[in-house]
Amino acid sequence: MITAQGLTRVFRTRSGPVEAVSGVDLTVEDGEVVGFLGPNGAGKTTTVRMLCTLLKPTSGTATVAGHDVVRQRAEVRRRIGYVGQSGSGGEHRAGDELRTQAMLQGLDRAAATARAAELAEQFDLGELLERPCSKLSGGQRRRLDLALGLVHRPGLLFLDEPTAGLDPQARANLWDHLRTLRAEQGTTIFLTTHYLDEADALCDRILVIDGGRIVASDTSDALKNQIGGDVIILESDQIGDITAVATRVLPDCRPDSTVGSVHLHCADAQRRLPELLRALHEAGVELTSIAVKRPTLEDAFLRLTGRSLREEGRGAAPAEQAPQPDQAATGDAPAEPIHSEVAS
Ligand SMILES: Nc1ncnc2c1ncn2[C@@H]1O[C@H](COP(=O)(O)OP(=O)(O)OP(=O)(O)O)[C@@H](O)[C@H]1O
The DSSP code sequence of 164-211 is: TT--HHHHHHHHHHHHHHHHHH--EEEEE-S-HHHHHHH-SEEEEEET
- Regions of the chain where pLDDT drops below 50: 313-331, 333-344
Query: Domain for residue 170, yes or no?
Result: yes
Query: Domain for residue 128, yes or no?
Result: no
Cβ–ligand 1 contact at 219 (below 6 Å): no
CATH classification of the domain holding 265: 3.30.70.270
Cβ–ligand 1 contact at 20 (below 6 Å): yes
Based on the fold, state whether residues 62 and 80 are members of the same structural domain: yes
pLDDT at 332: 53
Based on the fold, state whether residues 146 and 280 are members of the same structural domain: no
Based on the fold, state whether residues 73 and 17 are members of the same structural domain: yes
pLDDT at 114: 92
Ligand 1 centroid to residue 61 C-alpha, Å: 20
Number of neighbours of residue 196 by Cβ within 10 angstroms: 21
3-class SS string, 250-280: CCCCEEEEECCEEEEEECCHHHHHHHHHHHH
Based on the fold, state whether residues 234 and 205 are members of the same structural domain: no
Query: Domain for residue 158, yes or no?
Result: yes
Closest ligand 1 atom, CA of 45? 22
13-62 pLDDT, tens digit per residue, is 999 999 999 999 999 999 999 999 999 899 999 999 999 999 999 999 99
Query: Domain for residue 177, yes or no?
Result: yes
Based on the fold, state whether residues 217 and 258 are members of the same structural domain: no
Based on the fold, state whether residues 155 and 187 are members of the same structural domain: yes
Based on the fold, state whether residues 156 and 246 are members of the same structural domain: no
Based on the fold, state whether residues 277 and 140 are members of the same structural domain: no
pLDDT at 296: 83
Domain that holds residue 218: 2-89+136-223+325-331
